[in-house]
């Protein structure tokens, strides 16, 4: 298992290049990617023969993603591709973290407007997102923050990116978007939120929200004539909050994945867990009313490798500037929602990363 000192060294090495680090859930393996190449937003496809890439996609980009195309890749302390001598230093601009920050009054009005829209039967669910700015202490260390996320969220996809084109992002997301291997597809519906320590039964709002996401995914898989196995719903704990989680999977083959994986991804993304239902109506509503630029929040990220793609929804994330960070969170709004409770839900979600900032 890699040490904190080794992680610090990998981060130090990445300061002069486009750099990404990530660890998949329940794994001891950290991938480190170094690149001096520009990126384009291109279609993500399943490929039997390809290099291992880190992929990063903004919100509502369908099956489009940036491919890092690294010159050098480390797996923990071992280089698995390329070498340092081929890398040229990259000039990184000073990105600002300016974005719209909804205060409590704005956010509650926004939630109320969504509920009205649902009552008018234009939508069934809309995810209302917001951002919160937090000052970074002078002692803030990017590598230490990443290490703390690894320690506190073993169940999550933990990542860090510092890129000349994308800026600096970091997060610990619990939600799988889509995983593909030679003969299997896996995804999950993750919805409903309450404090991790709560002993209360899940309410109608959370159960309905979870069912909406599961039904949406099931319908998409059926569109592609895929037989889907829906596992029993369980609780997934993410720091001080927990969610309802249902894992879904389907058997397939390499030919199907090569031809149709990108089509399935385009239909799934963005899921109702980050956008809403119907997908198009909810997306239009968000575009008109939210004011926030979601950027990479609620997009997806992951690893694309030969015969294997693992993608996760970019939740519990933050955008890091020189002196402050923007933390992002959202809440799923249904007919059973309460503006006050949804505001509190976003507070709880923002604390997943926010509670660690002053500890590093």
d(CA 180, CA 306): 11
E strand segments, the chain: 18-23, 30-35, 41-43, 53-57, 64-67, 72-75, 78-81, 125-135, 157-163, 167-173, 176-180, 184-195, 228-230, 234-238, 241-251, 276-277, 300-305, 308-313, 317-320, 324-333
50 pLDDT band, cuts 50/70/90, is confident
Give the residue-averaged pLDDT of 145-155: 95
Average pLDDT over residues 248-273: 95
Res 85: pLDDT: 67
pLDDT for position 358: 84
pLDDT, position 293? 96
What value does the mean pLDDT of the chain take? 94
- Span 127-146, mean pLDDT? 96
Residue 132 pLDDT exceeds 80: yes
pLDDT band at 176 (very low <50, low <70, confident <90, very high): very high
For the cut 90, the answer to whether the pLDDT of residue 331 exceeds it is yes
Work out the number of other CB atoms within 10 angstroms of the CB of residue 193.
23
8 A C-beta contact, residue 90 and residue 292 = no
Residue 79 CA to residue 84 CA, distance in Å, equals: 10
Give whole-number Cα distances, 140 to 130, 313, 335, 358, in Å. 24, 26, 41, 7
Q: How confident is the model at residue 184 (pLDDT cuts 50, 70, 90)?
A: very high
For the chain, which residues make up each domain, given as ranges? 4-359
Kindly tell me if the per-residue pLDDT of 220 is higher than 70. Answer: yes
Res 275: pLDDT: 96
pLDDT at 15: 93
Range list of H helices, 120-251: 142-152, 204-223
- What proportion of the chain, given as a percentage, has pLDDT over 70? 99
Of 3.40.50.620, 3.90.1580.10, 3.60.120.10, 3.40.50.10470, the CATH number of 4-359 is 3.60.120.10
Q: What is the band of 97 on the pLDDT scale with cuts at 50, 70, 90?
A: confident
End-to-end CA, the chain = 21
pLDDT category of residue 8 using cuts at 50, 70 and 90: very high
Average pLDDT in the 94-104 region? 90
Q: Region 265-290: what's the mean pLDDT?
A: 95
């Amino acid at each position: 298992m890699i040490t904190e000192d080794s992680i610090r060294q990998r981060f130090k090495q990445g300061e002069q290049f486009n750099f990404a680090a990530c660890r998949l859930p329940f794994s001891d393996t950290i991938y480190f990617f170094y690149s001096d190449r520009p990126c384009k937003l291109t279609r993500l496809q399943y490929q039997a023969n390809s290099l291992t890439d880190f992929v990063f996609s903004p919100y509502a980009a369908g099956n489009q993603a940036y491919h890092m195309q690294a010159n050098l890749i480390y797996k923990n302390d071992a280089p698995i591709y390329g070498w340092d001598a081929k890398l040229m230093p990259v000039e990184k601009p000073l990105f600002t973290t300016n974005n719209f920050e909804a205060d409590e009054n704005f956010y509650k009005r926004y939630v109320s407007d969504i509920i009205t829209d649902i009552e008018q039967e234009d939508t069934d669910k809309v995810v209302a997102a917001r951002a919160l700015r937090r000052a970074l202490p002078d002692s803030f260390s990017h590598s230490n923050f990443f290490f703390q996320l690894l320690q506190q969220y073993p169940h999550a996809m933990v990542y860090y990116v510092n890129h000349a084109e994308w800026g600096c992002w970091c997060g610990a997301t619990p939600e799988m978007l889509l995983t593909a291997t030679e003969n299997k597809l896996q995804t999950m519906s993750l919805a409903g939120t309450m404090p991790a320590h709560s002993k209360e039964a899940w309410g109608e709002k959370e159960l309905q929200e979870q069912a909406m996401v599961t039904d949406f995914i099931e319908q998409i898989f059926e569109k592609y004539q895929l037989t889907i196995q829906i596992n029993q719903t369980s609780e997934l704990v993410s720091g001080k909050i927990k969610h309802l989680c249902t894992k879904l999977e389907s058997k397939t083959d390499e030919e199907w994945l090569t031809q149709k994986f990108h089509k399935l991804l385009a239909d799934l993304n963005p899921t109702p867990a980050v956008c809403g239902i119907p997908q198009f109506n909810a997306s239009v509503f968000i575009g008109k009313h939210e004011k926030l630029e979601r950027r990479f929040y609620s997009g997806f990220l992951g690893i694309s490798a030969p015969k294997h793609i693992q993608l996760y929804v970019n939740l519990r994330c933050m955008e890091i500037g020189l002196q402050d960070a923007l933390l992002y969170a959202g809440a799923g709004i249904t007919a059973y929602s309460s503006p006050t409770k949804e505001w509190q839900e976003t507070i709880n979600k923002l604390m997943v990363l926010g509670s660690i900032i002053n500890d590093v």
